[in-house]
């Protein structure tokens, strides 16, 4: 068997990680533009000022996608590139760039999947309090309306937010991402509620403006993986558990409000003294129907049932494979992640990110040989195929990433791409794994 005939085989990127052109053509600054210029914040002291220079090389990059047989491209919009101050005046040159990119994709038959927010909060809005300011809901609604007005005739697939767990936790709790703050749970919960409201408002804008629109919400997800068949319920419990000190990375904290219109009871009870006020109508806005769930899955947690019920997280065996960024290789993660989510929420699932950081080099023959990445992708995709074969409604898979890029706090030390980038010359080289992925796409997964 194979995946559904209309399966979206794709690759993914994010604006700050690839575009560059930070100070060109009327673009405003984002929190990442400021954060990366603070000494010591990025591992290799680099910035995304140039990154992959995609702003100037997008035609070359789209042509590479076409060469790889890519069917769908998930990319994000730089909010301050099209609205420099976050609200107010629109930057025509920013609109022109995305207009040209979308047209180029469609010329090659590549379906655009647009992520509205992949972390580049306009710096001018950050100065007004960012996501802690309740007005952020209206800011995002306006931004969404601008994009829908100009591109809704050609873009039908949208993701409102990418990994709110990460940009809130890493940016405002542990401070390793922009803007580098460390605040308490009361402020974090308020930001989470504002982001969910902004999501709901954006869904309504898109639904009203674009006929046949397909809208999703994306989480950074680490599935519970049962050690044995006896541990399936324990793994499910671990996956969706949500309490006082582990709410941000709990999938149920985000998807229960979006799908069911309510926060998990446990998190409400355990945070009753600091939970933000939920106004009349808030949950109705947040739960405006979406069309799919997007999961960014790289690794999962091995789980056993506890001696007295509940669950217990088990450390992987000594010597368990890891990627170059030291994430555990757990090939069953896509199977259990898509299965558990489809069962709980009864919505189609896209794997919106999955991939491997490896120590890639250009070999003496001028090629980039990455057999470890091929093995990783093959194992994970076999798990996803198993889920699809069992009836899980899986609609697409987006490999992270199209090309090596600026990997946030890690700078350029980590390489995830199907395409190798020499950051000194901007030369692109398709890796062996890129050609392997092309064969998988051509066979619709039958060659796995």
User: Known catalytic residues?
Assistant: 163, 353
Beta-carbon contacts of 121 under 8 Å, excluding residues fewer than 6 positions away, are 30, 31, 79, 86, 130, 131, 178, 179
The answer to whether the CB of 94 falls within 8 A of the CB of 78 is yes
What is the dihedral sign for C-alpha 165, 52, 297, 206?
Answer: positive
* 348/250 Cα distance (integer angstroms): 19
Please state whether the peptide bond connecting residue 179 to the residue before it is cis, i.e. omega within 30 degrees of 0: yes
Q: Alpha-carbon Rg of the chain, whole angstroms?
A: 21
* 241/236 Cα distance (integer angstroms): 8
At residue 387, what are phi and psi to the nearest 5 degrees? -60, -45
Tokens of 32: 């990442």
Q: What angle do CA 346, 350, 353 make, to 5 degrees?
A: 140
Expressed in percent and rounded to 5, the helix, strand and coil fractions of the chain are 40, 15, 45
Q: How far is CA 115 from CA 75, 222, 412, in A?
A: 6, 21, 22
Tokens of 165: 């767990």
Beta-carbon contacts of 423 under 8 Å, excluding residues fewer than 6 positions away, are 50, 52, 404, 412
């Amino acid at each position: 068997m194979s995946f559904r005939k209309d399966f979206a085989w794709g690759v993914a990127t994010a604006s700050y990680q690839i575009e560059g052109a930070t100070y060109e053509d009327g673009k405003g600054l984002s929190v990442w533009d400021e954060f990366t210029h603070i000494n010591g914040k990025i591992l290799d002291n680099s910035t995304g000022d140039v990154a992959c220079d995609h702003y100037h090389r997008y035609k070359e990059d789209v042509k590479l996608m076409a060469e790889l047989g890519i069917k769908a491209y998930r990319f994000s919009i730089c909010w301050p590139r099209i609205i420099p101050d976050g609200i107010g005046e629109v930057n025509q040159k920013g609109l022109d760039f995305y207009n040209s990119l979308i047209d180029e994709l469609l010329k090659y038959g590549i379906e655009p999947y647009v992520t509205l927010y992949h972390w580049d909060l306009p710096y001018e809005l950050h100065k007004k309090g960012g996501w802690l300011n309740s007005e952020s809901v209206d800011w995002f609604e306006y931004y969404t309306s601008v994009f829908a007005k100009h591109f809704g005739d050609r873009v039908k697939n949208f993701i409102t937010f990418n990994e709110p767990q990460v940009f809130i936790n890493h940016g405002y709790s542990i401070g390793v991402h922009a803007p580098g703050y460390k605040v308490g749970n009361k402020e974090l919960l308020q930001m989470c509620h504002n982001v969910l409201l902004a999501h709901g408002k954006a869904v309504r804008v898109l639904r009203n403006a674009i006929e046949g629109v397909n809208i999703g919400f994306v989480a950074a997800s680490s599935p519970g993986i049962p050690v044995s068949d006896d541990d399936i319920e324990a793994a499910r419990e671990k996956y969706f558990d949500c309490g006082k000190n582990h709410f941000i990375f709990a999938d149920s904290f985000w998807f229960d409000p979006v799908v069911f219109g309510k926060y998990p009871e446990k998190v409400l009870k355990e945070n009753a003294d600091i939970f933000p006020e939920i106004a009349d109508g808030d949950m109705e806005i947040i739960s405006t129907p979406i069309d799919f769930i997007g999961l960014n899955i790289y690794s999962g947690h091995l789980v056993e049932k506890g001696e007295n019920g509940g669950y217990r997280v088990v450390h992987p065996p000594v010597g368990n494979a890891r990627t170059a960024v030291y994430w555990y290789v757990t090939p069953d993660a896509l199977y259990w992640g898509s299965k558990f989510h489809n069962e709980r929420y009864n919505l189609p699932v896209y794997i919106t990110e999955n991939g491997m950081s490896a120590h890639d080099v250009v070999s003496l023959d001028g090629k980039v040989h990455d057999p470890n990445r091929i093995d990783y992708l093959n194992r994970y995709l076999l798990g996803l195929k198993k889920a699809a074969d069992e009836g899980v409604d899986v609609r697409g898979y987006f490999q992270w990433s199209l090309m090596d890029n600026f990997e946030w706090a890690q700078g350029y030390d980590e390489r995830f791409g199907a395409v190798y980038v020499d950051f000194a010359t901007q030369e692109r080289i398709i890796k062996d794994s890129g050609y392997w992925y092309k064969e998988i796409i051509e066979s619709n997964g039958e060659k796995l």
